[in-house]
Amino acid sequence: MEWRPWLTRWSDEWVRSADGELDPEVARTRWLGFDPATEDAVVAAEERIGMRLPPSYREFLLTTDGWRDAGIFVWQMRDTSDIGWLRDIEPFWEDNWADLCDEDPEEGTCFSRGLLISRDADAGILFLDPGDAGKDGEWAAYSLFSWRAAPPERFPSFLALMEDLYAEFHQMRKPEGEVRDAWDATVEQARLDALGGRVDGVEEILAEAEEFGSDRATVLRAQLQLFLDRPAGQSLSRLVSPHFSLDGFLTDPLFTEEFLPLLFAQHAENTAPHFNSVLQSAMIADRPDFHLLVGEYQARLRNGESPMTYGNPEFDVLVRAAVDEHRDDPDALWRDVEAAFAHWRPRSADHIAPVALLADPAVAAALTPGRRRALLSRPRGDRR
C-alpha cells in the first residue's frame, strides 16, 4: 500500500468538504496525519507490546504517526507512544462485550488479545487482534461502537479497516472530486449493463457504490434485489429515509408509479404483530412531502380508483389483459407477461426493472425467481 498518496487525497477531500471549524493545523497543512514515525519509534513500540506489528499498520505509522478523523466517528487514532493492549487501557470493553464474540472466552477473545489503536471516538474503539493473523502477517482489525448495538465488525487487516472508514466518510460527506466522479461513472455503467441483460456482478458493484454514498446506486440496486429474489428491505428503507438525498426522486415516476404501489402492497401483506412495514416506518419521520404523496395515494384507493399501472402504456395494456384473463392461472399469466415484456420501456432514467409487476399479488406469484431473472436477462430499454 502506498499510504501517502491515498491519505493525501483523503485529507484534501476532508478539508474541502468540512462543514465546521477545522483543526488549525489541518487547515494549514491540508493533512489529517502527523509526521512519520521513525523506525526507532516503531521498534520501541513493538518492544513494549512484545511483538512485531502487522505490515499495513507498520507502514501506516512510518507514513504518519497517528491520524485525525478516521471516518466520521473516530476523531483521533493512537500513535507509537500510546498504542497498547485493550485489556489494560480500556478493560470496560472486554468486561461488557466479550460475550458477543464467537470464540470461547476461556481461550481468549479478540478483546483480551486486542491492541487498541483508537484514542478518541464516539463511544467506540478500533483495535487489532494478533491472535487472528493471516498468512500475509496481517492481523484482523475491528471497529465497535456501543450505540450501534451490534457485535464488533471484523476486517481482514488494518488496511481493510481504513478503507471502510474512508468509504464511511464518503457516504456521510459526499466530497466532490476524482473518487466521486469515478463512482458516478461506475454506477452509470452498471445501469447500462443491467439494461443490457448482464445482471451477474452488477448488484455487487452497486453495493460498493452505496458504501461510498451513491444514492443512485441504491435506486438501481433495490430494483435488482427485488427481481433477483434477494432481501430488499434495507434498500427500500433507504429510499424512503429522510436522509436519502437524490434530487427529485419522490416525484419521479419510478417512485410514484413503481416503488410506491409496491410499498403499499407490502404493507397490506404485513401481518406480523409489533412489526412495522417499510411504509409505516417511513411515515414516522417528519416529511410533509412524503406524507402528501402517501395521503394522495390512499385517497385514490378509498375513492375506488385503481392508481397503479404496470408500466408504460404499451406494456400496461397487455399486462392488464393478461391479468383479467389469467389471474387464477399463474403459468398462463406468466406466458402473457413474458410476451408483453418486449414492449416494456423505462419510465425514467434510472428505471431498469418492472417493479410495479410485483405490486400485484397475482403477477408477483406468477413471477417465480427463475422467471424474474429471465426477464432481467433480456436487453431492454435503450439497450435492446
Q: What is the 3-state secondary structure (H, E, C) of the chain?
A: CCHHHHHHHHHHHHHHHCCCCCCHHHHHHCCCECCCCCHHHHHHHHHHHCCCCCHHHHHHHHHCCCEEEECCCEEEECCCCCCEEHHHHCCHHHHHHHHHCCCCHHHCCHHHHCEECEEEECCEEEEEEEEEECCCCCEEEEEEEHHHCCCCEEECCHHHHHHHHHHHHHHHHCCCCHHHHHHHHHHHHHHHHHHCCCCCCHHHHHHHHHHCCCHHHHHHHHHHHHHCCCCCHHHHHHHCCCCCCCCCHHHCHHHHHHHHHHHHHHHHHCCCCCCCCHHHHHHHCCCHHHHHHHHHHHHHHHCCCCCCCCCCHHHHHHHHHHHHHHCCCHHHHHHHHHHHHHHCCCCCCCCCCCHHHHHCHHHHHHCCHHHHHHHHCCCCHHHC
> Which pLDDT does position 235 carry in this prediction?
87
Measured distance CA(1)–CA(182) in Å, rounded: 20
pTM above the 0.85 mark? yes
> Which pLDDT does position 103 carry in this prediction?
66
Measured distance CA(129)–CA(264) in Å, rounded: 47
Domain ranges of the chain: 3-172
> Which pLDDT does position 105 carry in this prediction?
59
* Residues in the chain where the model's pLDDT stays below 50: none
> Which pLDDT does position 94 carry in this prediction?
84
Q: Is 10 exposed, middle or buried (0-12, 13-18, 19+ CB in 10 A)?
A: buried
Q: Determine the straight-line distance between the first and last CA of the chain, rounded to whole angstroms.
A: 42
Is 310 within 8 Å of 303 (Cβ atoms)?
no
According to CATH, the superfamily of the domain at 3-172 is SMI1/KNR4-like (3.40.1580.10)
pLDDT tens digit sequence for 260-294: 999 999 998 876 777 889 999 999 988 899 999 99
Long-range CB contact pairs, 265-271, < 8 A, 24+: 265/358, 265/359, 265/360, 265/361, 265/364, 269/361
Measured distance CA(254)–CA(355) in Å, rounded: 9
> Which pLDDT does position 104 carry in this prediction?
61
The dihedral through the CA atoms of 336, 338, 339, 341 has a sign that is: positive
> Which pLDDT does position 161 carry in this prediction?
98
> Which pLDDT does position 301 carry in this prediction?
87
